[in-house]
């Protein structure tokens, strides 16, 4: 009995000590201001130094949390119980959040740095007039490949993936929109097609790709490509940039038939307890130097023209990650197809995955 | 161990190699200056300094430990009282149904528990954060503690209690001096099980974290989306070494005391 009591007391003492340490760390990390800004962002999607810089400049305290998928983030916000001031969803998620009335309107008069953003990325169909969202990063969907494992193939066209020499070499990402979209694009249809005939022929086309598919997986793609265990993968430009950073052999290409153009935008969720702080944070992230430093750290493409002016020219000139406007004309943004159509996409994708011929 | 055959020893060694190889592989690369787990460039401490300079990560680590210790402590207390209650229920079918309910909670998927807690907390109006994480960890640990303590109680000979009562012990004395010492190994085993469950739980915790409070499993999960960085290796290395020291230290303390507290050993 004595031992148990002693052990319990020891645990409580340890907890108190840890509590005090944590409190101390929290205070030294955030020196001033009682106002907090709670940011909910993707993992590894900001340079941590910028958080400190923001705290020093504005006096707000930042509470930073991460999520790993749009759906998880939306669930958290929809359920309430949290006070996120900033979230960074992708475009289709923004559309959905708008529909579900989860967002607060953004006041452009509080964002003097908004002038830094390339107008090309403003006033897009998923959020006309940028009432609810401000661009953070953008990118494309394309093919990352390892020339040293291939026989001189390049991937200017989606059809290159169907080349018989690639048998068992292609990795696909486990996303219905991405894979079905690739099928549609390879036939010259729109990514957002809701035409049953187009979707069926896209499925048939995809099914003929089956012999070439090595695996349909998620984030493990990065490791497999970097370790040269696979030769070709369908992936997002930012992820491709990560891979190429770690393995210089790799190359990235967006097929010319067209592909997906995606955006991650900053929004202010309904749960926000500090709307002024949220605007201050968005404005801070739009600052030219801040955006440049962040893009340098994260590796995705920034929509900030002022930042691009001070960034490394080699990075900006790289058309694989900063495609020209003509090239962008070929790209399409995902539209919210509605629950029913999305279900149909998932069904088709499942059929493809099961190899149901 | 004296008369174990050679084959058995080799088998044992093999099992341990399989169990520990991934951990050592991970720790080995935490010293790699190359930044990836592909090939070893040269030795560096930079990933360890990165861990210590990231205040946010350290705070999350401390949060994780506090939640694990507190939830294990509280769930052990509740679990022990619960098992005492279950054992002294006379009605057999009632006792069995309570036990089944306990087991249902153990086999329920974490995702279901997590989602239900999220809905419950937001309905009641509890703000997500430290309290919500602690409460849900206590909740999923209690059934485990009960399962650890109950067998000890059941194997206890009831004549021990009768004897104590005959010798004039009050009910309180019986509990303090007879029952608790007897089931102590079970209590400690329950505590450590709860501690481990809390430390590595991802699914439940993911749903109930919020307002800046996060634990290591949730944080690492979202970090890993951008590829595993060696900071994670370094952090795992630190946690492994600390755990190792704690276990070794605990072993020596319990050896010196001449008692076996863990419950993993043989009861005297």
pLDDT in tens, B229-263: 788 888 889 989 988 888 898 788 777 655 544 44
Nearest to B60 by CA among A312, A69, A66: A66
Residues of A in contact with B229 (CB under 8 A): 44
What's the pLDDT score for residue A286?
94
What are the tokens at B224?
Answer: 């890993």
Residues of A in contact with B164 (CB under 8 A): none
Least confident of A281-295, B42-56, B124-138: B42-56
Nearest to A104 by CA among A264, A274, A334: A274
What whole-number distance in Å separates Cα of residue B52 and Cα of residue B49?
A: 5
| B127, B181, B191 ranked by CB distance to A1: nearest | B181
Whether A3 has its CB under 8 Å from any CB of chain B: the answer is: yes
| Per-residue b or e along A42-77, where b marks 16 or more CB atoms closer than 10 Å to that residue's CB | bbbbbbeebbebbbeebebbbbbbbbbebeebbebb
Report the share of chain B in percent with pLDDT over 70.
Answer: 91
Residue A356's pLDDT band (boundaries 50, 70, 90)? low
| A15, A25, A76 ranked by CB distance to B210: nearest | A76
Question: Which B residues, 209 through 228, put their C-beta within 8 Å of a C-beta on chain A?
Answer: 209-212, 214, 218-219, 221-228
| Locus of tokens 């840890």 | A18
Q: What angle, 0 to 180 degrees and rounded to 10, lies between the N-to-C axes of helices B230-256 and B46-53?
A: 80
Least confident of A107-111, B172-176, B210-214, B237-241: B210-214
Report the share of chain A in percent with pLDDT over 70.
Answer: 97
Give pLDDT tens digits for A64-83: 888 877 888 888 888 777 78
What are the tokens at A262?
Answer: 């995606």
What are the tokens at A259?
Answer: 């592909």
B interface test, pick of A50, A82, A229, A237 with most B CB neighbours within 10 Å: A82
Give pLDDT tens digits for A138-183: 988 899 999 888 888 888 888 888 888 888 888 998 888 888 989 9
Give pLDDT tens digits for B73-131: 999 999 999 999 988 888 889 988 998 999 998 899 988 999 899 889 888 888 888 88
| A3, A11, A83 ranked by CB distance to B69: nearest | A11
| A36, A43, A72 ranked by CB distance to B223: nearest | A43
What whole-number distance in Å separates Cα of residue A99 and Cα of residue B54?
A: 38
Helix (H, G, I), strand (E, B) or coil at A179: helix
Mean pLDDT of the region B184-209: 89
What whole-number distance in Å separates Cα of residue A240 and Cα of residue A254?
A: 11
Best-predicted range by mean pLDDT among A31-45, A90-104, B38-52, B253-267?
A90-104
CB of A96 closer than 8 Å to CB of A270: no
Q: What angle, 0 to 180 degrees and rounded to 10, lies between the N-to-C axes of helices B180-200 and B55-87?
A: 140
Residues of A in contact with B73 (CB under 8 A): 8, 11-12
* Prediction pTM value: 0.73
What's the pLDDT score for residue B198?
92
| B66, B211, B212 ranked by CB distance to A15: nearest | B66
Res. A269: pLDDT tops 90: yes
Mean pLDDT of the region A94-117: 92
Nearest to A131 by CA among A93, A99, A103: A103
What whole-number distance in Å separates Cα of residue A323 and Cα of residue A261?
A: 11
Instruction: Please compute, for residue A305, the number of CA atoms within 13 A of its CA located in the half-sphere on the CB side.
Output: 9
Beta strand extents in B77-225 (DSSP E only): none
What's the pLDDT score for residue B211?
75
Q: What is the ipTM of this complex?
A: 0.73
Whether B58 has its CB under 8 Å from any CB of chain A: the answer is: yes
More confident residue, A334 or B227: A334
CB of A97 closer than 8 Å to CB of A126: no
Specify the pairing of strand A261-269 against strand A103-104.
Answer: antiparallel
Q: Is B71 exposed, middle or buried (0-12, 13-18, 19+ CB in 10 A)?
A: buried
B118:A81 CB<8 A: yes
A38:B212 CB<8 A: yes
What whole-number distance in Å separates Cα of residue B9 and Cα of residue B70?
A: 39
What whole-number distance in Å separates Cα of residue A64 and Cα of residue A37?
A: 8
Mean pLDDT of the region B11-39: 87
What are the tokens at A121?
Answer: 């990325």
More confident residue, B104 or A33: B104
Instruction: Give CA torsion, residues A64, A69, A72, A74, to 10 deg.
Output: 80
What are the tokens at A159?
Answer: 């059809």
Q: CA-CA distances (angstroms) from residue A188 to A110, A185, A331?
A: 43, 5, 12
Q: What is the mean pLDDT of chain B?
A: 85
Q: How far does the CA of residue A222 sit from the closest CA of chain B (Å)?
A: 7
Nearest to A57 by CA among A285, A267, A272: A285
What whole-number distance in Å separates Cα of residue B199 and Cα of residue B193?
A: 10
Whether B128 has its CB under 8 Å from any CB of chain A: the answer is: yes
What's the pLDDT score for residue B3?
63
Residues of A in contact with B36 (CB under 8 A): 226, 246
What are the tokens at B85?
Answer: 């209650």
What whole-number distance in Å separates Cα of residue B136 and Cα of residue B134?
A: 6
Nearest residue of B to residue A65 by CA position? B212
Res. B32: pLDDT tops 80: yes
| Locus of tokens 């289709």 | A92
Computed on alpha carbons and rounded to an integer, the radius of gyration of chain A in Å comes to 23
Mean pLDDT of the region B129-155: 91
């Amino acid at each position: 009995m004595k031992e148990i009591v002693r052990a319990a007391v020891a645990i409580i003492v340890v907890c108190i000590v840890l509590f005090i340490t944590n409190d101390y760390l929290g205070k030294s990390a955030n020196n001033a201001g009682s106002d907090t800004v709670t940011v909910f962002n993707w993992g590894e999607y900001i340079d941590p130094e910028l958080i400190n810089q923001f705290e020093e400049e504005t006096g707000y305290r930042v509470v930073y949390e991460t999520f790993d998928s749009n759906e998880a983030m939306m669930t958290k916000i929809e359920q309430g119980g949290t006070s996120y001031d900033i979230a960074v969803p992708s475009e289709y998620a923004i559309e959905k959040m708008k529909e579900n009335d989860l967002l607060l309107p953004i006041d452009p008069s509080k964002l003097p740095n908004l002038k830094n953003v390339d107008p090309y990325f403003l006033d897009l169909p998923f959020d006309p007039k940028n009432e609810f969202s401000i661009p953070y990063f953008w990118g494309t969907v394309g093919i990352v490949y390892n020339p040293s494992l291939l026989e001189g193939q390049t991937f200017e066209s989606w059809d290159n993936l169907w080349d018989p020499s690639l048998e068992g070499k292609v990795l696909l990402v486990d996303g219905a929109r991405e894979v079905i979209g690739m099928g549609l694009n390879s036939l010259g249809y729109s990514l957002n097609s809701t035409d049953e005939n187009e979707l069926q022929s896209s499925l048939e086309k995809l099914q003929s790709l089956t012999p070439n598919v090595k695996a349909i997986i998620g984030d493990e793609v990065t490791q497999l490509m970097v370790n040269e265990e696979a030769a070709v993968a369908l992936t997002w430009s930012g992820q491709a940039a990560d891979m190429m950073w770690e393995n210089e052999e790799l190359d990235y290409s967006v097929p010319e038939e067209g592909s997906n153009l995606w955006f991650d935008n900053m929004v202010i969720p309904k749960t926000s307890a500090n709307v002024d702080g949220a605007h201050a944070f968005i404005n801070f992230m739009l600052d030219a130097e801040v955006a440049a430093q962040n893009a340098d750290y994260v590796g995705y493409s920034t929509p900030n023209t002022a930042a691009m002016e001070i960034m490394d020219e080699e990075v900006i000139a790289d058309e694989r990650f900063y495609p020209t406007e003509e090239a962008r004309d070929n790209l399409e943004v995902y539209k919210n197809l509605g629950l029913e159509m999305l279900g149909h996409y998932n069904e088709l994708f499942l059929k493809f995955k099961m190899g149901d011929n | 161990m004296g008369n174990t055959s050679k084959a058995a020893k080799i088998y044992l060694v093999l099992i341990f190699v399989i169990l520990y190889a991934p951990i050592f592989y991970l720790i080995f690369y935490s010293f790699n200056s190359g930044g990836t787990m592909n090939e070893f460039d040269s030795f560096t401490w930079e990933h360890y300094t990165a861990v210590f300079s990231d205040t946010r990560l350290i705070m999350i680590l401390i949060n994780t430990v506090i939640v694990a210790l507190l939830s294990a402590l509280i769930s052990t207390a509740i679990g022990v009282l619960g098992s005492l209650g279950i054992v002294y229920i006379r009605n057999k079918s009632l006792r069995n149904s309570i036990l089944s309910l306990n087991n249902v909670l153990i086999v329920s998927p974490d995702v279901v528990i997590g989602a239900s807690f999220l809905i419950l907390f937001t309905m009641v109006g509890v703000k997500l954060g430290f309290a919500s994480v602690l409460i849900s960890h206590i909740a999923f640990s209690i059934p485990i503690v009960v399962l650890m303590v109950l067998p000890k109680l059941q194997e206890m000979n009831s004549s021990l209690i009768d004897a104590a009562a005959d010798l004039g012990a009050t009910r309180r004395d019986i509990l303090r001096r007879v029952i608790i010492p007897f089931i102590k190994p079970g209590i400690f085993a329950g505590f450590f099980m709860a501690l481990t469950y809390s430390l590595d739980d991802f699914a439940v915790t993911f749903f109930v974290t919020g307002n800046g409070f996060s634990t290591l499993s949730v944080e690492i999960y979202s970090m890993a989306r951008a590829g595993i960085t060696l900071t994670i290796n370094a952090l795992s290395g630190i946690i492994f070494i600390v755990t190792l020291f704690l276990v070794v230290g605990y072993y020596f303390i319990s050896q010196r005391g001449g008692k076996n507290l863990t419950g993993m050993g043989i009861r005297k």
